[in-house]
Amino acid sequence: MADIIKFPTKNFQTKPVMSAEEEQKMILLSNKRLADNVAEGLAIDILTVLQDQISNMQSAEFIADLAFLIEVIKSTLHRELDIHHPVQDIIAKVCKVQTTKNGEKVTHLNYRDILNKVDEDQIDIIFEPE
C-alpha cells in the first residue's frame, strides 16, 4: 500500500466569496476593458490603413478626429455590452434611424441640436405692427 500525503488543513484559507454587487462590478470592469482593448486594436488597424492616405498624422486636428473616432467605437461596443457611454447621448441627439416602406433602414444625421445653430428658414420671426 502506498503512503498518501494528506493535504495540509492547518492555516488553510478558502477563497473569499464575492457579493453579487462585487461580482457585477467585476463583470462591468472586465467588459469595459474588453471594449477598450478592441477599440485600441481597431485604432492601430485604422492608423495602418490611413498612413499612406494622410499627409500629416501629427496635426492636432487629425489626432482629435482619431480620438473621437476611437470613442465612437468604444461607445458602440459599450452599447452592445449594455454599458452606458457618453458618446451614446451625442449619437441619440444627432442620428435618427427610420425604416422605409420597403423595410430598408435609413439614417438621418442632424447636427443642429448639438451645434446650437438654427437654420435661417426655421428662425421664428415675430412681426409687430407699428
Count of Cβ atoms closer than 10 Å to residue 35 Cβ: 21
pLDDT beyond 70 at 127: no
Beta bridge partners of 65: none
Q: Give me the amino acid identity at 85.
A: H
Mean pLDDT within 46-50: 90
- Over residues 61-87, the pLDDT tens digits come to 999 999 999 999 999 999 999 999 999
Q: What is the rounded distance in angstroms from the CA atom of residue 3 to the CA atom of residue 83?
A: 55
Phi, psi of 95 (to 5 degrees): -105, 130
